[in-house]
């Protein structure tokens, strides 16, 4: 009985020692659980530091759970050999610690998920920025300078997105090494984001290339526009100016001016077609509705001006031809009248005999027929003059033609009178020679 009692005392002492050992191990785990709870309840705001701490906690949780499972298994086996059940105080503590470890592991997983969600949120934010940049790259601007500023600003935003993407990619790779399962979704999102960034970068390059072409096209467009506007102003001034009908010389000057303006307009059609092509190119990055309308209006306006100039030029050419013909005929008539007048007023004619004077004047009468034909030619040219009726009375050439016609009629009348006088025998030769002839000479000279 003493041996039995001694054995039971030894067993009891060993049991106490084993339970103390179990309690020490559980107390270590409980202390760690308490510290970890304080850490999880007050997490550091820095994501990278938090992730590192969570990685350590997660590793410790796994280790403690493994140790706890091993300890529980040992206790179960021990008491099973003793043909008894695990004491309640041990089983309750094991269960309590196991639940606490499970709660911490859940909390760690929660923070991992939060971190994952935070990263996904940042990925989504960068994705939305890239979508907005891509949409703006496709938008059109009202003018080239604004397009340049927008492209510059968008390029800066794209660079910022590139830096953010690099940071996210590095963070996801680090996170993936520690949490391969959780990181898969992030890695897929980063891959899609990288593809979107690459596409947006290509879009930016295309936009920049188009903008370089547009800058040159816009410069050429405005050069042609300036030329057409200057020509239009010159053409409008020419069309609105009053025609000077005074002489063929003035008409010739105006014809040359109209011809010069028309020569300048030969390249207008080519320029307008080229401007339309430039507008088509500019439409890739600019709103060109106003420019297209401008080209259409310029085309219509320049065509109207060209037609007006052609019409005026034709009128001027017709007027110049008829004016030149009239001036030639008037000049011929003037020369003929001067010759007749010179003959009638010649002092030598007054010194001739009456018979010779009569014969001379009779010959002049015969020559007067050609003078009459010349007067008719002047009248015909005057009637064919291609100038407005309202300006004809103001033309010097018309007044000269009328005066020459009157002079021709007067000279013919004087010649007839002188012939009639010379044919009258009753008139003394000396009286006629010294009186009437000098009087008629003076009248003709005055004319």
**pLDDT grade for 424, boundaries at 50, 70 and 90:** low
Any alpha helices (H) in 82-179, and if so which ranges? Answer: 88-138, 144-178
Task: Let me know: does 281 contact 217? Beta carbons within 8 Å.
Answer: yes
Distance CA 49, CA 396 (A): 107
Interval 300-307 mean pLDDT: 94
Q: Does residue 132 surpass a pLDDT of 50?
A: yes
Beta pairing partners, 31? none
Task: Let me know: does 404 contact 340? Beta carbons within 8 Å.
Answer: no
Q: What integer pLDDT is reported at residue 267 of this predicted model?
A: 86
Q: What integer pLDDT is reported at residue 313 of this predicted model?
A: 94
Q: What integer pLDDT is reported at residue 178 of this predicted model?
A: 64
- Over the stretch 30-85, which tens digit does the pLDDT of each residue have? 888 888 887 777 766 655 566 667 677 777 888 888 888 888 887 778 777 777 77
DSSP3 helix / strand / coil % (the chain, rounded to 5): 90, 0, 10
> Topology of domain 208-318, per CATH?
Methane Monooxygenase Hydroxylase; Chain G, domain 1 (1.20.58)
Q: For the chain, which residues make up each domain, given as ranges? A: 11-206, 208-318, 321-446
Say which residue, 12 or 352, is predicted with more confidence: 12
Q: What integer pLDDT is reported at residue 156 of this predicted model?
A: 86
- Over the stretch 241-279, which tens digit does the pLDDT of each residue have? 999 998 999 999 999 999 999 999 888 889 999 989 888
Q: What integer pLDDT is reported at residue 51 of this predicted model?
A: 61
Other Cβ atoms less than 10 A from the Cβ of 256: the count is: 11
- Over the stretch 167-204, which tens digit does the pLDDT of each residue have? 878 877 876 776 665 567 678 888 888 898 888 888 88
Question: What pTM was computed for the model?
Answer: 0.55
CATH number of 11-206, picked from 1.10.287, 3.40.190, 3.40.50, 1.20.58: 1.20.58
């Amino acid at each position: 009985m003493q041996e039995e009692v001694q054995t039971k005392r030894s067993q009891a002492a060993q049991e106490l020692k084993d339970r103390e050992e179990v309690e020490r191990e559980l107390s270590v785990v409980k202390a760690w659980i308490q510290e970890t709870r304080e850490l999880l309840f007050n997490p550091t705001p820095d994501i990278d530091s938090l992730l590192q701490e969570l990685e350590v906690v997660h590793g410790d949780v796994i280790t403690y759970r493994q140790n706890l499972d091993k300890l529980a298994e040992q206790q179960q086996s021990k008491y099973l050999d003793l043909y008894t059940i695990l004491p309640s105080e041990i089983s309750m503590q094991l269960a309590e610690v196991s639940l606490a470890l499970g709660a911490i592991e859940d909390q760690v997983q929660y923070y991992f998920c939060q971190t994952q969600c935070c990263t996904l949120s940042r990925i989504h934010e960068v994705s939305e920025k890239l979508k907005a940049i891509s949409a703006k790259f496709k938008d059109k601007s009202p003018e080239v300078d604004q397009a340049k500023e927008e492209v510059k600003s968008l390029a800066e935003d794209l660079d910022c997105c590139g830096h953010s993407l690099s940071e996210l990619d590095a963070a996801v790779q680090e996170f993936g090494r520690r949490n391969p399962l959780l990181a898969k979704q992030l890695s897929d999102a980063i891959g899609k984001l990288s593809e979107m960034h690459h596409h947006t970068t290509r879009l930016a390059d295309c936009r920049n290339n188009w903008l370089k072409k547009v800058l040159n096209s816009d410069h050429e467009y405005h050069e042609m526009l300036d030329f057409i506007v200057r020509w239009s102003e010159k053409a409008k001034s020419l069309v609105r100016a009053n025609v000077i009908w005074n002489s063929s010389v003035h008409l010739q000057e105006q014809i040359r001016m109209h011809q010069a303006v028309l020569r300048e307009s030969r390249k207008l059609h080519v320029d307008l077609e080229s401007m339309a092509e430039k507008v088509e190119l500019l439409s890739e990055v600019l709103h060109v509705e106003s420019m297209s309308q401008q080209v259409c209006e310029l085309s219509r306006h320049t065509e109207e001006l060209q037609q007006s100039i052609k019409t005026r030029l034709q009128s001027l050419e017709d007027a110049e031809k008829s004016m030149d013909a009239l001036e030639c005929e008037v000049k011929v008539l003037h020369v003929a009248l001067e010759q007749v007048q010179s003959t009638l007023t010649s002092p030598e004619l007054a010194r001739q005999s009456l018979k010779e004077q009569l014969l001379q004047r009779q010959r002049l009468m015969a020559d007067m027929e050609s003078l009459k034909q010349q007067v008719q030619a002047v009248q015909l040219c005057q009637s064919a003059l291609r100038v407005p009726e309202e300006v004809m009375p103001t033309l010097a050439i018309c007044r000269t033609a009328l005066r020459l016609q009157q002079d021709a009629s007067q000279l013919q009348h004087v010649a007839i009178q002188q012939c009639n006088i010379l044919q009258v025998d009753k008139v003394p030769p000396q009286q006629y020679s010294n009186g009437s002839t000098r009087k008629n000479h003076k009248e003709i000279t005055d004319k």
